[in-house]
């Protein structure tokens, strides 16, 4: 393993002001380096820079400096660093994937993954079931999963952003020992941003102090008197003894999957959520059933002819109800229900990924989030809108037929079928060209609405309230666009 050195490092904030000025940063193999300093001084900025997540350029951060690692030289003024694997403070695990899938997706997108890394990662997770959902994991298990995932990314340096935040003394000390052991086994350095340093000093080889006045990094001895006001307190045994180590349930090799595997994984996930879940089918079916009943019942009972003319004009009324229901009413209601529900889900899902830094983690792990998630959403919104339209039309037609039979119990259902579909089917089998326009406006509604939901969901989020606001905005915008698309395409249908 080789050292990592950055010469003449200068970092300036987007709004002006320097974080560092002409500073040298060196990380040597095997060593653990603590980066300390006042809150807001720029410690996390250095982590983002090494992990390739700092927005550099116009309206962003300004960075200069030469990063050297082995025979590589990176000009940080216009090149992104890819040497750092970040363990995020809030873990940024992919909560829609299982524990082992979180590791597999990182390994599959790493440049290369040595078999020893698989063992190192799995060794951290003896008490975590491979198929365990992220929501069911404890805080410590999530933290170790995040570390194991970063290990599998196989970057030259491990980066930790406040890893001991919120931990008690014993847990923080154990975490430090875990990081220290990884550096020794993997031969890689670790840079730890720490605000509370007393629990991490025992495992540190060096301590770098970010001097906000001199805008430089100063190396100080890993001595509590120089870093904090009090000595590091050593953790003690809690007296409960040592529990036997559980059997490790993880496979020896996590294995590799292709990019197609992960795309299909997300495609299937969103197909279930957006199109095929039982509640979705019931929701769409109830809307279609109500529309089928309303259009037939009111079509015959609340009209201008009424009375005995109801029987005289029966056939043409049935034809008209069938045409309006299949080409206007059901497609519109189906699209509104589909878009309103799914735009809320998309905005919530993407907003959660933004708030929990999952997209940043994907970027850092070189996982193409847009290729997987956004494409899967758009495909399911377009294809699913057509599939659920077919389901809605079938349910609405059945509801119309049963409603008609209540109104005319002496008539055979074949009579209803002959007239209801007269202008919808050619020769009783082939859909008429009108149905092509219907499919177009439904699919176009799904396409545009999904794009709106993705854009709104990707806006910066700083709280759950921001996600809730995005959900409301996504529903309103999606339904509004759906109404406009249906109106425009309906006019074009009459024109052509």
Q: Give the whole-angstrom CA distance, residue 87 versus residue 80.
A: 18
- Per-position DSSP letters for 370-437, written without gaps between them: IIIIIHHHHHHHHHHHHHHHHHHHHHHHHHHHHHHHHH-TTS-HHHHHHHHTTTTEETTTEEPHHHHH
What pLDDT was estimated at residue 245? 64
Same domain, 118 and 36: yes
Confirm whether 253 is domain-assigned.
Answer: no
pLDDT class of 489 with cuts at 50, 70, 90: very high
Q: Which of 301, 344, 341 is nearest to 321 (CA)?
A: 301
Q: What is the pLDDT of residue 9?
A: 94
Distance (Å, rounded) from C-alpha 283 to C-alpha 306?
Answer: 33
Q: Are 37 and 210 in contact (CB under 8 A)?
A: yes
Confidence band, pLDDT 50/70/90 cuts, at residue 234 = very low
- Indicate if 107 and 215 belong to the same structural domain: yes
In a domain, 250, yes or no: no
Q: What whole-number distance in Å separates Cα of residue 471 and Cα of residue 342?
A: 10
CB–CB of 185/30 below 8 Å? no
What percent of the chain clears pLDDT 70, i.e. is strictly above it? 92
For residue 370, the 8-state DSSP code is I
Are residue 271 and residue 223 in the same domain, yes or no? no
Band (pLDDT 50/70/90 cuts) for residue 242 is: very low
Tens of pLDDT along 254-280? 888 899 999 999 999 999 999 999 999
Together in a domain, 131 and 274: no
The verdict on residue 426 lying in a domain is yes
* Same domain assignment for residues 147 and 45: yes
Q: In this structure, are 22 and 140 located in the same domain?
A: yes
- Given this model, what pLDDT does residue 28 score? 92
User: Does some domain include residue 240?
Assistant: no
Domain that holds residue 452: 259-495
Claim to verify: residue 266 and residue 222 sit in the same structural domain: no
263 with 223, same domain: the answer is no
Q: How many domains does the chain have?
A: 2
> Which residues, 6 or more positions from 459, have their beta carbon under 8 angstroms from its beta carbon?
354, 466, 470
Q: Are both 177 and 313 inside the same structural domain?
A: no
Mean pLDDT, rounded, for 75-99? 91
Give the pLDDT mean for 480-493: 92
Other Cβ atoms within 10 Å of 99 Cβ, number? 25
Question: Is residue 218 domain-shared with residue 266, that is, in the same domain?
Answer: no
CA atoms of 291 and 328, how far apart (whole Å): 11
- Domain membership of residue 97 (yes or no) is yes
Rounded Cα–Cα distance for residues 34 and 11 (Å):
19
Do 220 and 270 lie in a common domain? no
Same domain, residue pair 268 and 178 = no
Backbone angles phi, psi at 29, to 5 degrees: -55, 145
């Amino acid at each position: 393993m080789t050292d990592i050195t950055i010469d003449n490092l200068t970092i300036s904030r987007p709004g002006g002001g320097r974080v560092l000025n002409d500073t040298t940063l060196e990380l040597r193999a095997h060593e653990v380096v603590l980066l300390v300093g006042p809150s807001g001084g720029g410690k996390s900025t250095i982590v983002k820079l090494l992990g390739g997540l700092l927005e550099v350029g116009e309206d962003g951060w300004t960075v200069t400096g030469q990063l050297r690692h082995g025979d590589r030289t990176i000009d940080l003024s216009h090149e992104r660093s890819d040497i750092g694997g970040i363990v995020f403070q809030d873990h940024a695990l992919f909560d829609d994937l299982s524990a082992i899938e979180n590791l597999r997706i990182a390994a599959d997108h790493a440049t290369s993954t040595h078999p020893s890394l698989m063992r190192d990662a799995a060794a951290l997770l003896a008490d975590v079931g491979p198929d365990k959902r992220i929501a069911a994991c404890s805080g410590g298990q999530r933290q170790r999963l995040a570390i194991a995932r970063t290990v599998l990314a196989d970057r030259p340096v491990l980066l930790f952003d406040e890893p001991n935040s919120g931990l008690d003394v014993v847990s923080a000390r154990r975490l430090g020992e875990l990081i220290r052991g990884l550096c020794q086994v993997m031969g890689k350095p670790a840079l730890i941003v720490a605000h509370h340093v007393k629990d991490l000093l025992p495992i540190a080889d060096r301590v770098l102090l970010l001097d906000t006045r001199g805008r430089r990094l100063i190396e100080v001895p890993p001595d509590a008197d120089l870093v904090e006001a009090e000595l590091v307190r050593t953790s003690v045994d809690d007296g409960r003894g040592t529990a036997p180590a559980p059997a490790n349930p993880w496979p020896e090799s996590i294995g590799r999957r292709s990019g197609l595997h992960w795309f299909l994984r997300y495609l299937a996930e969103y197909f279930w959520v957006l199109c095929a879940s039982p509640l979705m089918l019931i929701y769409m079916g109830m809307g279609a059933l109500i529309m089928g009943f309303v259009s037939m019942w009111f079509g015959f009972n609340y009209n201008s002819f009424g009375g005995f003319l109801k029987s005289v004009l029966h056939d043409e009324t049935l034809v008209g109800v069938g045409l309006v229901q299949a080409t206007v009413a059901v497609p519109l209601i189906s699209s509104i229900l589909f878009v309103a529900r799914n735009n809320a889900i998309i905005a919530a899902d993407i907003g959660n990924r933004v708030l929990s830094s999952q997209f940043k983690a994907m970027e850092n792990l070189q996982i193409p989030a847009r290729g997987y998630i956004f494409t899967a959403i758009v495909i399911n919104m377009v294809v699913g809108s057509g599939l659920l339209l077919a389901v809605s039309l079938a349910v609405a037609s059945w509801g119309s037929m049963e409603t008609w039979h209540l109104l005319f119990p002496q008539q055979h259902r074949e009579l209803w079928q002959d007239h209801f579909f007269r202008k919808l089917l050619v020769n009783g089998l082939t859909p008429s060209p009108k149905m092509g326009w219907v499919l177009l406006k439904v699919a176009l509604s799904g396409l545009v609405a999904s794009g709106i939901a993705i854009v709104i969901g990707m806006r910066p989020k700083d709280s759950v309230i921001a996600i809730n606001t995005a959900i409301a905005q996504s529903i309103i915008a999606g339904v509004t666009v759906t109404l406009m698309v249906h109106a425009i395409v309906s006019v074009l249908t009459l024109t052509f």
